[in-house]
Structure 1
């Protein structure tokens, strides 16, 4: 499938509800367990998604579309959620993510992005020149990757309890 903004938005607008359905109301063990040392829990992933809504996807989109000559993206702190999520409940964070995403998609849609706009570039601190199309495609893949990550984290909580079925459950060993 080639990139299509409307199809991308179909995924982006569903992510908050998908995650709320998966996680809201679950016990702390499901929310706070991770895959081992230096890995993230579902709680941490939601915090990371919130931070991205505030500082990454729309901020960089607007920079690419701007008339500025310096289009170097600001660094993204992949670990900011550990401080920013302190004292919050998962329900609060899921609600915050839903509101931020809704607002960001409204702004994105108000840009009336053209095919020409999709070819405009910004400068990623690691990758160099990237197009708006690549950036927006990454936003979608990023969402789907974190949904898969949360599923994997949760599945691994029963890795040792599934017995011989582990041979048919590759998610438990990824």
Structure 2
């Protein structure tokens, strides 16, 4: 499917509600458990998404849309959530994510982006030149990937409880990268 902003925005709009609906009112074990050493819990993932709302997607969009030569993005701290989420509870994170996402999408929509804008270039510190359409596509896929990650982490909490079914439950067979 070719990137179209009007098809991407509904996914981005739904992400906070999907995550809140999946996790709200669950026992803490579902929220705080991970897949092992150097992996993230659902709580960590929400903190990561919040950090992205503050420092990644719209910051980079603004940089791409600035006049002049393509500018290099600041590196993204993929682990900032561990410090930033300290002393916060799940409801605080839900609320913060929801508000930041709402504000970012309001800002994005207000830009009335054209196809020419979507072809504009920024420079990723590792990947090199990227278009705005690629950045915005990555935002959607990033959300979907983390929704899948949250589901996978939760499913693995019962891996030893499902008896002989793991060969049919593919979500249990993913091995996290070290």
Same fold (TM over 0.5): yes
Q: SS of the counterpart of 2:122?
A: strand
Counterpart Cα distance in 1 of 2:70 and 2:140:
26
- RMSD, aligned α-carbons: 0.7
Match of 2:72 in 1: 72
Q: SS of the counterpart of 2:123?
A: strand
Alignment of 1:119-130 (within 5 A): 119-130=119-130
Match of 1:97 in 2: 97
Establish whether residue 158 from structure 1 lines up as the match of residue 173 from structure 2: no
| TM-score, L = length of structure 2 | 0.96
Match of 1:60 in 2: 60
Contact 2:64 2:70 in 1 (8 A): no
Counterpart Cα distance in 1 of 2:79 and 2:40:
10
**Alignment deviations for residues 104-125 of structure 1 (CA, whole Å, 9 cap, x no partner):** 0000000000000010000000
Which structure 2 residue ranges, 5 or more long, are not aligned? none
Counterpart Cα distance in 2 of 1:53 and 1:71:
20
Q: Displacement of 1:68 after TM fit? A: 4.0
Match of 2:113 in 1: 113
Q: SS of the counterpart of 1:130?
A: strand
Counterpart Cα distance in 2 of 1:74 and 1:68:
17
Counterpart Cα distance in 1 of 2:127 and 2:140:
18
Query: How many positions carry a matched residue from both structures?
Result: 174
Counterpart Cα distance in 1 of 2:68 and 2:11:
30
